[in-house]
Structures are given as structure tokens and as C-alpha cells.
A and B are shown apart, each in its own frame.
Chain A
Amino acid sequence: MRRVWIHIALLLILSACVKEADWSVPENGNNYIVVDGIITSEAKTQYIFIHNNKAGLNDATIPISGAVVIISNEVATYQLYEDAEEAGRYITDSIVAAQLDKNYSLLIFYQEKIFSAQAYMVTGKAFPELSYKKNDDDELYSIDYVASSFETEDPAMWEILVDWSSVPGYENENLDDCMKKMLFYTLPTLDVSQVFAPALEQISFPAGSKIDQRRYSLTPEHAAFVRSLLLETSWQGGVFPSDPANVSTNLSDGALGFFGVCAVNSLSLIVTAEKNTNFK
């Protein structure tokens, strides 16, 4: 009986300690600039995206126009121009390929403020292709295995583009319904919220689909950014969610996002019933 009284007393004391606090959060949130910028080892027109942060998860992206954007390394400087066809997308005016053993700087001048970031590239490597399997309940296929999600060395981002717009029977479908992009990651860390992350949507596609698989090499700093981003997004809502925290960044002066330089290796394959189903 005495124990019960002790518990009741503790409960009362602890309840009395709870204090309501007012925290004024602006209705539309603070205004930050967000950089989504990866330049790669591919010889192509390189680009980065700059936009404002959103107040809500499903809000439309607010592009930032009129910024001056410069990317440079020890031997070259490239000025990026805003794409006339897509606001907030800044492109190089020539074919550029990021190089190993070079240090890259991103400089953004916007509304009297300067934001900067530094990045470098680690070497890419050839990789075994992904595997896919036939669904149990229909004639479609889905991705079975891309790469290990944990590797102590060589972190990477995997971009999978599946296109079945040319497969007979799907030619007249909406393009957006026949082309899907998926991202997977190989990181040098293993989090409990990653292991027990919520299930992802399964993308199904027919035989004859074209799959382009690209591996982006990540520096340790880039991998840390990806991890902190995933902790707040894809890995939230599972059995062991992490405490909310700010996503890391390599941008200065309060800008968000990441500027990265990646070596890209790629391959392509066609989904067939006969091949590529027997390994994992």
C-alpha cells in the first residue's frame, strides 16, 4: 500500500513539472535558399538547382531566379546561367566534366548575400548490375536487389531509371506513368531507423523495359549529408524513428542542401523473362 502512495506522489510531482511553452513559428517558415547541386565526371552540360525552402512537405518548389552562380577549381572557372526553360536551374554554357584531384568551389551571389560550398570527387568504379524478379501476382517485374545498403568503404548513390514507354501495349500511355526514377544508397553507417524503415513503394514494370543504372561516388561528407537527409525523410515513421534534427550541409551562411562532385559509372539493361533472375 505504501508503494502505491509513493507512485501517486511521484506522478503528481512529475506532472507538476510539465510546463507549457509558447514557441512562435512563422506561418510560412523562414526563408532559406536550398541548393540541390551535383556535378559529375560525365562530359555534359552540368547544372544545379536553387530554390527556396517549402513550408509544407507537399508544397510546390519555389525556384530562385536571378542568382549569380560560379563553379571553379584550381585551373578553371565556369559561370552558370539560369535555364530559360526551367526557372531555378542553372547550367554551364559548355560541356564540362568534373575531374579527380581537383577541389571545386560553388559560389552563389543572391540578394546581396554570398553563399559558398567546397567539394571534391572520389573515384568511381564498375559495378555488377541490379537484379529484378517477376511479381507473384501478375506478369510484371520489380527491382529485387541493387547494392548493399552498408559498406565501410566506397559510399554511393544509385540512380535507377526504368522506362517502359516503348514496350508494345504501353506506347500510348502517359509518359510519366511509364518512366520511373528510384534512388538507393550504399552508406558507411548503419542506423536502427534505417534497418526498420517504413516499406517503400514497389515499382512494377513489364518485360522489355529499359533500365539505366548509374552509380554516383560519394565523399564521406556527401554520405553524411545523405544519411542526415534520410534520417529525416525515408527512415522516419518506422519502428525506431530518430529524433528530428537539422540536415547537415556544406553550404555557408545558412543556406541548405548540398553541393557535391560525383564520379559516375553507368550501365543499361533490358528486362527479359529469361535472364537476370537467378542471382542476388
Chain B
Amino acid sequence: MEKLVYYLKQVVMNPRKIIRLLTFFLLAAALVTACKKDKPEEIQPDSSPVQQLSQDDNSVEDNVDEAIIDAGQIISEGKLKMGIPCGATLDSTIIMNDTIIHFLTYDGLNCAQTKYRKGRMHIKIKQNTHWLFPGAFLHIHFINYEVTNVFTNNKMVINGMSEIENVSGGIPALLGNGLNTVIHRNSAHVSISFNGKPPRGWHLAKMLVYSGTPGNLMLAVNGFGVTPGHSNLLSWGTDRDGKMFFTQIGESVVFKESCQWLPYSGEQIYLIPADHLKATATFGYNSNNEPISGSECPTRYRLDWQQQGHSGTIFLPLY
């Protein structure tokens, strides 16, 4: 028993010692906390949002352009009448007030057999207006217009309106027969749903300048959209991740018929402000990441990106 009492006396500390020890620990804790400094969080650079945007924007433009060509085909008249687009049915044509409306339904492959299209399109043109004449306007109303890439099975559903102005008069099919250029302007406000994801707003302000001769046609694309702080916009809106984006044309983007209408040259600039991400796409590169020359057709484009002091250059496939 004596031993136990002695042991307890040894173990139990003097209260003054405890207070001193506690004070020491508190001071140490305060010092350590004070020394802890919040480092600014370093953003990990990531070019993938702008890669995705450049591919999505190309797909949106390609799908809308194809629909515009179909619309031109439907309203062509006389000798230029070209029939119904592949995979589509012309349900009816009515005249409402002073407007001719063509009701088109899609359910089939496009002529190139690369896309499966479903949904509806209403094509409107003012009565007594000839699409071939300068200043003519054409309106396209997309209603659940669904385009599926048969290779990747990627789906895009387009809803909204597109207004096309025939600035110069004529159509690309007439080039080479006394007509040197055909200029069209497309202003579109559509919502796009990528692979069943929530729809995103997409604006297009695209000037299309066709030149050359059939078989060797060229298309130069420029942007004319303007928003506060941005000009020469080709497109803007929210990307598939819900972030605001802007696409500008730095140098006219040229497409060649002889190269399956792939972008042959030019510069396009992409901005995603929320990610502090800016990228310039330069078109016209081959599989060795070298600029194409002569009659060579492009297979890749170059993407120079910048993000908060970081930068990189990559080459992406065109298809």
C-alpha cells in the first residue's frame, strides 16, 4: 500500500506544473497557427475545355451549314430545282400571310452517309422573293433537329432559328458561269444539346464567301458578331460544361471542296473566360504536324493555348 501511495505521488503532477505546461502548449499552438500561411491555390493548366469547344463548335457549324444547304435545295426553282435532301421528306408547303413555309421532316442518312438526321425543319421565305437575288432572306426554324454522327454515335439536338441573307445573290452551284463570288450571312440563335445533356445557348454570326469553280470551290468564313468587349465573333454562348465562350476569326478560315470541305487555312480564336483559357487554332497541318503545301489536304489543326502563365501547343485531328 505504501508503494502504491508513493507511485501515485510520483505520477500526479503539481497543478502549477500543469498550468505552465498548458500555457506552453497554447503558445506553441498559437505560434504554429500564425506561421501557417494560405498559399494562393495554383491552377492546374488544362487545355481540354478548349479542345472540346473547338470540336463542338466545328460540329455545330457543320450541322447548321448542312441544314442551310438543304434549305437552299428546297427553295430552288426552275432549272436549278434540286429535289428533296437525302433522308428528308417534304411534308407540305403552305402560304401564310405573305410567307411561304416548307415543312420538312428528317429521318434518314445524309447524302454522304456520315450522319443520321431526325426531327423537323420549317423553311420560310417571303412570297414573291427569289432566293437567287441579292438581299433575299431565308429563315430556318429547327425543331428537335437531331444529328447523329454514324461513326462516333455522338448526338446533337438543335432547336432555334437561323436567318440567312443572300448578300451577293446567286448560289454556289452557279459559280464559274459568270458569277465569281457568292456571299451569304448566317445569324443563328439556337440551343444545342450534346449527347442528351442540358441544352446550351449558341449564337452564330457567320459570313460565308464562296468562290472558284464547281469541283474546285472554296469557302472563306468570317465572323461578324459583336458583344460588349468582343468583335469579329463567329460564335458565342455556353459550352457543354455550362461556361461562357467566345469564338473569333483571326484570319479567314478557308475550306476547300477538293479537300472534302476541311478547313485548309486560317485562324480561329477561342476564349473561355471562366477558365482564363485562350487558344488560337491554326488550320492546315498534316499528320507530321507540319504545314501543308501544294495540293496536300489537311488532317490536323494546331492549337496554341494559354492559361494564367502556362502555355502549350498541340495538334488535333480534323475528323
> A213 CB to closest chain B CB, in angstroms?
9
Interface pair A125/B48, CB less than 8 Å apart: yes
Taking CB atoms, residues of chain A closer than 8 Å to B316 are 266-268
Q: Could you say which of B44, B55, B152, B288 contacts A99, with CB atoms under 8 Å apart?
A: B152
Q: Could you say which of B47, B152, B315 contacts A268, with CB atoms under 8 Å apart?
A: B315
Taking CB atoms, residues of chain B closer than 8 Å to A99 are 150-153
A97 to B152, CA, bound (A): 7
User: Count of B residues near A, CB < 8 Å?
Assistant: 28
Secondary structure dominating the interface of A: loop
Interface pair A126/B310, CB less than 8 Å apart: no
A210 to B300, CA, bound (A): 14
Query: Given A100-B153, A128-B48, A268-B300, does the pair A123, B314 have CB atoms closer than 8 Å?
Result: no
Please report B residues at the A interface, Cβ cutoff 8 Å.
Answer: 44-49, 51-52, 55, 150-154, 195, 288-289, 300, 309-317, 319
Quick one: which of A114-162 are within 8 Å of B by CB?
123, 125-129
Interface pair B46/A128, CB less than 8 Å apart: yes
Taking CB atoms, residues of chain B closer than 8 Å to A166 are 288
A267 to B314, CA, bound (A): 7
Please report A residues at the B interface, Cβ cutoff 8 Å.
Answer: 41, 43, 97, 99-102, 123, 125-129, 166, 210, 263, 266-270, 272, 275-276, 278-279
Query: Given A97-B151, A100-B152, A101-B153, does the pair A270, B45 have CB atoms closer than 8 Å?
Result: no
Taking CB atoms, residues of chain A closer than 8 Å to B195 are 123
Taking CB atoms, residues of chain B closer than 8 Å to A127 are 48
> A261 CB to closest chain B CB, in angstroms?
12
> A104 CB to closest chain B CB, in angstroms?
13
Interface pair A210/B289, CB less than 8 Å apart: yes
A278 to B48, CA, bound (A): 17
Interface pair A278/B310, CB less than 8 Å apart: yes
> B279 CB to closest chain A CB, in angstroms?
12
Interface pair A129/B310, CB less than 8 Å apart: no
A123 to B240, CA, bound (A): 15
Interface pair A129/B317, CB less than 8 Å apart: no
